[in-house]
Amino acid sequence: MGYDDVITHLGEFGRYQKRIYYLLCLPAIVCAFHKLAGVFLLAKPDFRCALPFENDESRYELAPHLWNLSYPQGDSCSYYDVEYSEEFLNGSIPRSSNRTTACSRYIYDQSKYLNSAVTEWDMVCNRSLLSATSDSLFMLGVLLGSFIFGQMSDKLGRKPTFFASLVIQLIFGVLAAVSPEYFSYTISRMIVGATTSGVFLVAYVIALEMVGSSYRLFAGVAMQMFFSVGFMLTAGFAYFIHDWRWLQIALTLPGLLFICYYWIIPESARWLLLKGRKDEAFVIIKKAAKENRVEIPSEVYEQLVDEVAEKKKQDELTASQPAATVFDLLRYPNLRRKTLLIFFDWFVNSGVYYGLSWNTNNLGGNQLINFMISGAVEIPGYVLLLFTLNRWGRRSILCGTMMIAGVSLLATIFVPSDMNWLIIACAMIGKLAITSSYGTIYIFSAEQFPTVVRNVGLGASSMVARVGGILAPYLKLLGEIWRPLPLIICGALSLTAGLMSLLLPETLNKPMPETIEDGENFGKKQASEETAEEGEVATQELRGMLDAKSS
C-alpha cells in the first residue's frame, strides 16, 4: 500500500484535486511575467549620438542629409567631429573632416518604447554587454533558486517554501522597479529569478504529487500552458504600460493575490507521510475524501502507518550507504554516453527556447505581435505532446521536434531580406517545435536514469539547462551584428541535438531502470534488436530483388 493507492481510493483527479490544481496553475502566469519581462524592461530602441548643439529634449529624427553629414554610415556610436554651425547644418558648408568622436550622450527613438532600463542607463555601444549580462544573471538566479528552494522544499516542506519564495519575489520585484542604478536593479532581478524556481517548481511538485499516475502527463503539460498564457499576457502589459518601472511593478503585484493561498493550499500529504507526520497527512486525506464524496477504508490508514514505519527503517539503512552522485552516471560507458546526450539535449532546449523567446525584438515588424505569437505557438506545441507522447514514443517526438526546429530556423538563411514575414514564420515554427521538445525532455530523461540516481540525474540535467539559459541573452547581441545569426545558431544546435538523440533508447512501454546495472544495460539490447530488425528487412528486400530477377 502506497500513497498512489490512496489516490486511487480518492479518485485520481477528483473535485478536491482539480480545485487545488487549477489554483496552483495560476502562479505559473506570474512566473512567466518575470522570466520574459526582460524583453521589454531591457528593450533597446533605435538610437543615435546627441550632437553638440542638441539638448536632452531633442527628438530622435533628423533630416536624411543631416544623417549623412553627422554620422558615419552604419555607426550609431560616434559622430563627425566638425563645427556644427548653422551654415553647416543648412548644407552651405561641406564637411571638412572625417574625424569622429565617440558619443557622450544619446537620443532614443520613443515611437515604440517610452523608455527602458537600457535608455535610462545608456546600455548601448560599448556598454551594450550590460543588458545581456543583466538577463544572464537573472537566469543564474533561476539556477541558484532551483537548488536552494529545491533543498528547502524537501527539508522544510512544499507549502512554507512556496510562500517564502512568493514573498521574496514580491519584495524584490518592487525593489527592481525602484532601483536607482544598474547594479541594484540586476541583483534584485537575479533574486526574482531565483524565486521563480521556488514559486513555479514547488507549485508544480505539489500539483503532481496529488494526482493519479494516469493524469500526470496532462497535469504537467497543462501547467506549462498556463506559463504560455503568462508569456502572451506580458505583451498585453507592455502594450498599455510604456514606462519600464511601472511595467515591472504591474508584473509583480499580481503575486499579492496568491498570498491568500496560505489558507487554501494544503501541504503535500505525500511529503508529510515521507517525513513521518502521518496525523497531519490523514487530516488532508480525509478532507479530500469528504470533498470528493468517497469513503477511505480504515485499513488503508493502518497500512499507511505500517508503510511509514517500514520506510523509516529503509531510510536508516540507506543513510549508512554512500549517497549517489552524478559521477555514478559517468562511470560506465553506455550510461555515460546516454547521460552526456541527455545533458546536451537539455542545454540546447533551454538555450534555444530562451534564445528565441528573447530574440523577438530582432525579427523585424511589430515587436509586440512577434512576442505575442511566440507565446501563442507554445499552446499547440504542448497539445501535440498530449496526443503523441504515449503513441509515437518519447524518442520519436524529441528527435522529430528538434530536427523540425533546426530545419525551420536554418531555412532563414535562404529567405530574402524583403520577405520579413517568412523569417518570422520560420522562427515561430522553430519556437513551436522546440517547445514540444522541451516538454518531452523532462519525461524522457526521468525514464532514462536509474531510480537510485534519478533525482541526481534530473538535478544535473536542470543545471546544464540553466547554463544554456544563462548564455541565451548574448544571442540578442549577435542579432545586432547580423539579424539572422541567432536563428542560425539556434537552428544548428537544434538539428545537431535532434540527430544525436537518435542514439538514445526509446522508453515508451519499457520498464524504468532501477539500479546502476539496469541503467548500463538499458538500450544495449534494444539497439541490437533494432539492428537485427533492420538486417532482417534488408535481407527480405534482397531476396525479393533476386526472385524478381530470376522470374
H-helix or E-strand spanning residue 308: helix 298-319
Same domain? For 287 and 139 the reply is: yes
CA distance 511 to 523: 11
Q: pLDDT, tens digit, for every residue of 469-493?
A: 999 999 888 877 788 899 999 999 9
Q: pLDDT, tens digit, for every residue of 106-133?
A: 999 888 888 999 999 999 988 999 999 9
Residue type, 262: Y
Question: What percent of the chain has a predicted confidence (pLDDT) above 70?
Answer: 91
Lowest mean pLDDT among 195-209, 250-264, 414-428, 519-533: 519-533
Please indicate, yes or no, if residue 123 is contained in any of the structural domains: no
Please indicate, yes or no, if residue 115 is contained in any of the structural domains: no
Same domain? For 272 and 153 the reply is: yes
Mean pLDDT of the chain: 85
Confidence grade of residue 278 (pLDDT, cut at 50, 70, 90):
confident
Q: pLDDT, tens digit, for every residue of 19-72?
A: 999 999 999 999 999 999 999 999 998 888 888 888 777 788 877 777 778 888
Same domain? For 72 and 201 the reply is: no
- Residue 138, classified by CB atoms within 10 Å of its CB into exposed (0-12), middle (13-18) or buried (19+), is buried
pLDDT attached to residue 167: 96
Please indicate, yes or no, if residue 257 is contained in any of the structural domains: yes
- Domain finish residue from 256, 277, 312: 312
Cβ contacts of residue 97 below 8 Å, gap of 6+? 80, 81, 82
pLDDT of 536 strictly over 60 = no
CA distance 433 to 374: 11
Three-state DSSP class for 78? strand
pLDDT of 535 strictly over 80 = no
- Domain finish residue from 312, 345, 370: 312
Same domain? For 476 and 353 the reply is: yes
- Domain finish residue from 312, 334, 368: 312
Confidence grade of residue 295 (pLDDT, cut at 50, 70, 90):
confident
Same domain? For 24 and 78 the reply is: no
Please indicate, yes or no, if residue 116 is contained in any of the structural domains: no
What are the grid coordinates assigned to 465, written together?
539547462
pLDDT of 312 strictly over 70 = no
Q: pLDDT, tens digit, for every residue of 380-425?
A: 999 998 888 888 888 999 999 999 999 999 999 988 878 889 999 9
Q: Taking residues 511-531, what's their average pLDDT?
A: 71
Q: Taking residues 518-533, what's their average pLDDT?
A: 64
Lowest mean pLDDT among 44-58, 77-91, 320-334: 320-334
Same domain? For 19 and 55 the reply is: no
Please indicate, yes or no, if residue 120 is contained in any of the structural domains: no
pLDDT of 530 strictly over 70 = no
Please indicate, yes or no, if residue 232 is contained in any of the structural domains: yes
**Domain of 12?**
1-43+128-312
Lowest mean pLDDT among 221-230, 260-269, 276-285, 314-323: 314-323
pLDDT attached to residue 477: 83
Q: Are 103 and 78 in contact (CB under 8 A)?
A: yes
Same domain? For 441 and 461 the reply is: yes
> How many independent structural domains does the chain possess?
3
Same domain? For 354 and 458 the reply is: yes
Residue type, 170: L
Confidence grade of residue 551 (pLDDT, cut at 50, 70, 90):
very low
Nearest to 439 by CA among 218, 291, 275: 218
Please indicate, yes or no, if residue 542 is contained in any of the structural domains: yes
Q: Which of 131-145, 192-206, 310-324 has the highest mean pLDDT?
A: 131-145
pLDDT of 138 strictly over 90 = yes
First-to-last C-alpha distance (Å) of the chain: 65
pLDDT attached to residue 313: 67
pLDDT attached to residue 534: 45
Same domain? For 256 and 342 the reply is: no
Q: Which residues are 78's β-sheet partners? A: 102
Task: Give me the CATH number covering residue 405.
Answer: 1.20.1250.20
Please indicate, yes or no, if residue 377 is contained in any of the structural domains: yes
C-alpha to C-alpha distances, 320 to 311, 316, 317, 323, nearest whole angstrom: 15, 7, 6, 9
Same domain? For 385 and 514 the reply is: yes
Lowest mean pLDDT among 88-92, 249-253, 373-377: 88-92
Same domain? For 39 and 52 the reply is: no
Q: Are 31 and 227 in contact (CB under 8 A)?
A: yes
Same domain? For 75 and 220 the reply is: no
pLDDT attached to residue 494: 96
pTM: 0.87
